[in-house]
Chains A and B, each alone.
Chain A
Amino acid sequence: GIQVEQSPPDLILQEGANSTLRCNFSDSVNNLQWFHQNPWGQLINLFYIPSGTKQNGRLSATTVATERYSLLYISSSQTTDSGVYFCAVLPTDSWGKLQFGAGTQVVVTP
């Protein structure tokens, strides 16, 4: 099956810093999403981005489907950005079965 690798596994940032999270996937996909898992365990949808670039406030994401990777940018990080960021993909040969990466644990310190 498809492999989804996220890097780095852990990231410690000082408030105000910028960072880039990466998601590599091993096969073609129909869907790619970025989620933020907050301290209560909820999965919050950040971006639906099978290709191209999107921005939402201090967050933006870029997916280059032909090269099988996606990037999530966090700018001017805040302590509320702490949590685990997951990339999830839907392979082209799958119907409804999202494959998640292992996540990047982000800690933003004051």
Chain B
Amino acid sequence: EPEVTQTPSHQVTQMGQEVILRCVPISNHLYFYWYRQILGQKVEFLVSFYNNEISEKSEIFDDQFSVERPDGSNFTLKIRSTKLEDSAMYFCAYQQVSGYGYTFGSGTRLTVV
């Protein structure tokens, strides 16, 4: 079972609405990431986050997306105005220390209608 809980597990939202996806790691990890997987496709990198700053982001991660760690524990991904093509499974991931493997969260399935 994934060590990282994501909430909600499934969210349905109307196009144009804002959504916030949450990731709750169990212990104090340093490196955080968001990935997404459109149904039937590859898992794609969105953004990496280290020391409360974005360290790298993909072309997908445009101005509609933002990430933060507001309370030093939860790690959130916000999509300001959802589009149909944002429908996907969103995963947060962490790496406890650099040079070790990545652990993925349980995922949030986002459906935009």
Contacts and interface: CB of A to CB of B under 8 A. Distances in A.
Contacts, number: 58
Contact of B43 (A30, A45, A96, A100): A100
A69 interface: no
B106 A42 contact: yes
Given A48-B100, A86-B43, A95 B107 contact: no
B18 interface: no
Interface string B15-41: 000000000000000010101010000
For the residues of A in contact with B, the DSSP-based class is: strand
B91 A43 contact: yes
For the residues of B in contact with A, the DSSP-based class is: strand
B95 interface: yes
A96 B107 contact: no
Contact of A96 (B2, B44, B48, B104): B48
Interface of B: 2, 31, 33, 35, 37, 42-45, 48, 50, 55-56, 58, 89, 91, 93, 95, 99-104, 106-107, 109
Interface of A: 30-31, 33, 35, 41-45, 48, 86, 88, 94-103
Given A41-B107, A102-B42, 4 more contacts: A41-B37, A41-B109, A97-B45, A98-B93
